[in-house]
Structure 1
């Protein structure tokens, strides 16, 4: 039995079988989709049917597949798994989510970053006078078509450097959106999980 890596990242979803020779078609998510083309092992997680209790108390199974070929095709990725040669093998994989170990991602180019690595980074902005101050923690990276956008959960660090979200009067977490462009976020230190920007604190 294969050991499931603890660094799996969800990269897409199987939308259908492709052709008659066992290929599958995957709709990649906007972030980090190129990793599907280079990773030789994908992990497919079964969808949980509402008829079997939705999600509560129900765990989906996850299975490794060896990728024999993978390529872009009209905005999707099509792939052939080792041992597949018939559409009847690929059709049951529809709606499975596709996961890849972060360790299998190709090295990012200089000044390029995988979105998954930005999650949980602390983002610092600027107060009046130019002093650095914490804005919050990155909880999601979005794509607006022109560039990535960081969704940042506002909060503070306590004396133990643990992050605590700031809640609204109704008890809801508050977020801001910050463009992830060099002109705004000028320093990225993934080892320290820290991003520095000129985004105004309190904006």
Structure 2
């Protein structure tokens, strides 16, 4: 999931829904319906950026379905399947102090409380119980291992410094 520095990915179009141009989306927002709070989307598909306007959307069973402006039939809708849904980061609500969006944690260098460099946050995984940082090694890291570190602020994650692009963890490098 690559990021443009001014945009973040909030979901993905998965399939068509019905015959009138509706689409099913997989939302990365929490709650899932939060994706419907953003009207101006940028769809990213096959290296192309396509501006899109959300006309309406709703929960349909366990899925979210949407209708985008100018898409009124199943055939046209199917051409958007697989597209990432992006919004400008300036449209995201401000979080309370100590909380972060996933896109803010990407590329942060990860250090142990002892000062050992473990690598850089490549991406995160949602597991249900807690999110997990996937840390890839760098030239500066103590070894060339990939690490899965639970994102547990106050327990494992001791400090996040966005200005320094640094995340400090209480984590055994042997794990």
Shorter-chain TM-score category? 0.7 to 0.9
Residue in structure 1 matched with residue 145 of structure 2 by the alignment: 174
Q: CA deviation at 1:61?
A: 2.0
Q: RMSD in angstroms over aligned alpha carbons?
A: 2.9
C-alpha separation in 2, matches of 1:197 and 1:166? 14
Structure 1: tracts of 5 or more residues without a match: 48-59, 156-163
Count of matched residue positions in the alignment of Structure 1 and Structure 2: 171
Q: 1:184 to 1:115 in 2, by over 3 A?
A: same
2:128 alignment counterpart: 145
Which of 53, 61, 64 is equivalent to 2:48? Answer: 61
Distance in 1 (alpha carbons) for counterparts of 2:72 and 2:11: 22
Alignment of 1:30-109 (within 5 A): 36-47=35-46, 60-109=47-96
TM-score by length of 2: 0.77
**Structure 1 residue 31 displacement after superposition:** 8.2
- Aligned counterparts of 1:16 and 1:118: Cα–Cα separation in 2: 29
- Counterparts of 2:95 and 2:152, CA distance in 1: 16
Structure 2 residue aligned with 1:184, among 117, 131, 156?
Answer: 156
The aligned counterpart of 2:108 is: 121
Query: Is the contact between residue 126 and residue 200 of structure 1 (CA under 8 Å) also seen in structure 2?
Result: no
Change (3 A) 1:192 1:31: farther
Rg (Cα) greater in structure: 1
Higher mean alpha-carbon deviation, 176-185 vs 31-40, is at 31-40
- How far the C-alpha of 1:66 sits from its partner, in A, is 1.0
Alpha-carbon distance in 1 for matches of 2:168, 2:142: 23
Q: Secondary structure at the match of 2:93?
A: coil
Distance 1:108 1:73, change over 3 A: farther
Unaligned runs of 5+ in 2: none
Q: Equivalences for 1:1-40 in 2 at 5 Å? A: 7-29=6-28, 36-40=35-39
| Structure 1 Cα separation of the partners of residues 84 and 129 of structure 2 | 26
Superposed CA deviations along residues 166-201 of structure 1, whole A, max 9, x for unmatched, are 597xxxx42111110021102222232222221134
